[in-house]
Structure 1
Amino acid sequence: MKRICLAAPGDRLSVLCVGAHSDDIEIGAGGTILSLLSEGVQLDVHWCVLSGGKERAAEARNSAEAFLRKAASYSIELGSFRDSFFPSQSNEIKSWLLALREKIDPDVIFTHSREDAHQDHREINELTTNVFRDHLVMEYEIPKWDGDFCSRNTYVPLTEDALNMKVALLLEHFGTQRSKDWFDADTFKGLARLRGMECRAPARFAEAFTVRKFVLV
């Protein structure tokens, strides 16, 4: 399997992370972010959560700050769109993303998957890929009871330390989610082990993404 380097130690990389809800980015791409930082990549991160009201807004901000503690720079934006009703707010969300595009030109975007069963997640994928048409977009996955897992074509191997840190930060910062029967260390580590097996990751763990297009030069 051919390995392609997203960024080498010391490189500067501009990253846009887009999540519908307060824990989505961390679950889908948190290990990748932590791994890049631990490898010495200088990340400039714009972290956007579109539905962040009340207690979940505080969770989102505190978690993002914990994950990005070693970033070269970061900014956090919290939207106030109504949870579970994103398709009916499509015009407003697209305008929000268009305004974001006026401010940043990221090297890579992490966002939701087109195949995700959650209507908010699918809407964010459609609008992100529509607004940011000339960018590398990596679609992450969120485990849940819908049973919507699919084959992925891109993997980021994780060390056990990076995975353990991701899981510890998730469990620490998202108290509102602990009552959900799928939100636990076994789910996150089990998925990482499965994806690590698929890509033969050296430390046995990985996060998986879908990349629709990229250019080899």
Structure 2
Amino acid sequence: MAVLKLDLKGAKNLLLLGAHADDIEIGCGATILTLAKSHPKLNFLWVVLSAEGKRRQEASASASLFLKGVARSKVVVKQFRTSYFPAQFEPIKTFFESLKSFAPDLIFTHHRDDRHQDHRVLSDLAWNTFRDHLILEYEIPKYDGDLGAPNLFVPVAAATAREKARHLVRAFGSQKEKHWFAEETFLSLMRLRGVECASQHAEAFYCRKMICG
């Protein structure tokens, strides 16, 4: 299969959207680590919509780990109520409007058909706010069993995949009691997506619209 190179030479700003602490890292952490090394001059805006207390501290510390070495970055951690995003739609939409001034060239957000209601709200608002932008929707494994068939794959080095998994487990100690929150989970999904694109490891996304020229 032909491989299309995503040319980011002219790109300046990259927007990362996550409903909760650890969402961005789980969904596209290895891709971020790769971009941070290959395009260190990109300006990263890392936005977490819901994190309080220890989770807030973990979110900020983890973002710093994944963005280490980049020239410019900003981490924003909001405190919207977890699991109630549909009921907080108006203030969250108002916040999204404030993100327009960042003028992102590439956006990462949740998959539109994710079964978590908070995730769906973020995906819908990303498309509502940035109607003519390149948006890649990432996946998050969970008990609901909502993994699907993504159509865009980003191969990542084995060392990068391990670095992502290691960072996640070390950064989010508050999640260690969850049966699924383990290095094996994150590595297994990246290995599976690697199989689907003839690579050792990969992260996969849903790309609903892309213009090739």
Instruction: Tell me, yes or no, whether TM beats 0.5.
Output: yes
* 1:73 aligned partner: 72
User: Is the CA contact (8 Å cut-off) linking 1:12 and 1:41 kept in structure 2?
Assistant: no
Q: Which residue identity lines up with residue 204 of structure 2 in the other structure?
A: A
For 1:18 and 1:115, the matched residues in 2 are separated by 16
2:49 matches 1:64 = no
* 1:136 aligned partner: 134
2:177 matches 1:196 = no
Q: 1:12 and 1:135, CA in 2 relative to 1: closer, same or farther beyond 3 A?
A: closer
User: Is the CA contact (8 Å cut-off) linking 1:22 and 1:57 kept in structure 2?
Assistant: yes
User: Is the CA contact (8 Å cut-off) linking 1:197 and 1:205 kept in structure 2?
Assistant: yes
- Among all aligned residue pairs of Structure 1 and Structure 2, give the percentage whose two residues are the same amino acid: 44
Scaled by the length of structure 1, the TM-score of the pair is: 0.94
1:19-168, aligned counterparts within 5 Å?
19-101=18-100, 103-168=101-166
* 2:3 aligned partner: 3
TM-fit CA distance, 1:2:
2.5
* Residue ranges of structure 1 left out of the alignment (5+ in a row): none
Secondary structure (helix, strand or coil) at the match of 1:20 reads: strand
TM-fit CA distance, 1:110:
0.3
* 2:211 aligned partner: 215
Q: Which residue identity lines up with residue 50 of structure 1 in the other structure?
A: L
TM-fit CA distance, 1:5:
2.0
User: Is the CA contact (8 Å cut-off) linking 2:13 and 2:44 kept in structure 1?
Assistant: yes
* Count of aligned residue pairs for this structure pair: 213
Q: Deviations over 1:17-58 (max 9, x none)?
A: 000000000000110011122334532100000001111110
Q: 1:72 and 1:194, CA in 2 relative to 1: closer, same or farther beyond 3 A?
A: same
* Residue ranges of structure 2 left out of the alignment (5+ in a row): none
Scaled by the length of structure 2, the TM-score of the pair is: 0.96
Q: Deviations over 1:55-113 (max 9, x none)?
A: 11100000001100111210011111000110001111010000111x21111000000
TM-fit CA distance, 1:161:
0.9
User: Is the CA contact (8 Å cut-off) linking 2:11 and 2:105 kept in structure 1?
Assistant: no
For 1:136 and 1:191, the matched residues in 2 are separated by 24
Secondary structure (helix, strand or coil) at the match of 2:20 reads: coil
Query: Superposition RMSD on alpha carbons, in Å?
Result: 1.3
For 1:213 and 1:86, the matched residues in 2 are separated by 26
User: Which stretch of structure 1 is more off in the superposition, 32-41 or 168-177?
Assistant: 32-41
User: Is the CA contact (8 Å cut-off) linking 2:36 and 2:68 kept in structure 1?
Assistant: no
